[in-house]
Amino acid sequence: MPDYIPAEVFPPGEFIRDELEARGWTQADLASIIGQPPSLISNIVSGARGISPDIANALAEAFGTSPDYWLRHEIAFRLSLVENPPKHIQQRARLYELAPVREMQKRQWIPAPSTAEELEAALMRFYGTETPDQVPSAIRVAARATGAATVLTPSQYTWCRQAIRLASAIRAASYTRTSISEGLPLLRGLMAEPEEARKVPRVLASMGIRFLLIEPLKGSRIDGAALWLPDGSPLVALSTRFNRIDSFWFTLCHELAHIESEDQQGSLDKGALDTDLIGASEAVVEEVEQRADLRASEMLVPQAQLQSFILRKQPYFSKEAIVQFAHKVGVHPGIVVGQLQYRRCIGYHANREMLVGVRDIVAREAVTDGWGHVITTF
């Protein structure tokens, strides 16, 4: 007997009755054939009891069908007895795909509303859009992240949106195309001692660049971003995901290189992303990111001097030699270690004691969201 899916939903017992009638069997006959009590057959036919996988197998053997024929009828019938699920479940599921809702609530970026409609309204306020279909909306950002994604993830986009939302609390001078070249000597003067990193926010503000720290959202793997605000002014946001002096300064200089080159100052179509750069193809991303890396390295340590040091000392770089060279070029030894690791001259396990953390130092004067610093934005 071939299987089929009925156009209407009937209790499985109706189909059992049809099979019994076609064969001239009674319910007692079927019970005897499959080795079950007559009361069980009676309860199944009346709908008082469902068809289990074991019974489905037995009915399939008795009637020459497949077991899933009976299980499909059973499932369809049971589902027909259940009321349609509330529409808010689908709405909430869509919103949770759109945004890292739980983390946003935990970080107090949005409230914890009781209804799906209230949640949607809270997210639209956060993203600055009128409908969920408008998220992500266009942003102007060059982001440094780990991974090979080709689209902006909800966590990455949300992190960038929070940076933009917080920027209004930061005062800064007017930015010009010469701001970075003119202000770079001031920044380099802060690179020798970890404690001097606390002055980074005010120096950048004097250059017309807003600066803040935001703890990364889970799974975002974002290190930093250079963003252009609606008025055309630049903003640098860092996650200090790796709390090391070399990572802090390299990522900061990397983002400054993006600003200096005006990467992504043009508007983007819904924040398209490729690996480390939002809004560009793979070829462009590779070129732009390599350029930003090279410029960042030059901002930190004059590369001609670093190359000369490497040629003289390789393959053995003693701690004393690193400290002396760092003193010569005016940076912390950890920055030199980071550059040597970046060039793969030494392993990432080497000289770890020089890679001191600066997050807490910078957070003393920077607008900071995370690591115990809570900024309510709703």
Q: What is the pLDDT of residue 140?
A: 78
Structure tokens belonging to residue 334: 């950890």
Please name the amino acid found at residue 193. Answer: E
Q: Beta 234-238 vs 277-278: how paired, if at all?
A: unpaired
Cβ count near 264 (within 10 Å) = 24
CB 222 within 8 A of CB 159: yes
Whole-model pTM above 0.75?
yes
What is residue 3's DSSP assignment?
A: -
- Torsion angle (degrees, nearest 10) of CA 341, 345, 348, 350: -110
Nearest to 253 by CA among 224, 273, 228: 224
- Torsion angle (degrees, nearest 10) of CA 370, 167, 191, 350: 40
Cis before 6? omega within 30: no
Structure tokens belonging to residue 185: 């000597």
Per-residue b or e along 153-166, where b marks 16 or more CB atoms closer than 10 Å to that residue's CB: bbbbbbbbbbbbbb
Q: What is the pLDDT of residue 38?
A: 93
What is 12-80's CATH topology? 434 Repressor (Amino-terminal Domain) (1.10.260)
Q: For the chain (length 378 residues), average pLDDT per consecutive 10? A: 57 92 93 94 92 95 94 90 80 93 95 92 93 82 62 88 93 95 96 97 97 94 92 94 95 95 54 34 68 93 95 93 96 96 90 95 96 82
For residue 252, what are the contacts with CB-CB under 8 A and spacing of at least 6? 200, 224, 236, 238
Q: What is the pLDDT of residue 133?
A: 87
Distance (Å, whole) CA 213 – CA 160: 11
Q: What is the pLDDT of residue 284?
A: 53
Q: What is the pLDDT of residue 87?
A: 78
Q: What is the pLDDT of residue 166?
A: 95
Distance (Å, whole) CA 213 – CA 222: 12
Q: What is the pLDDT of residue 376?
A: 77
For residue 271, what are the contacts with CB-CB under 8 A and spacing of at least 6? 136, 137, 138, 139, 141, 152, 157, 160, 278, 279
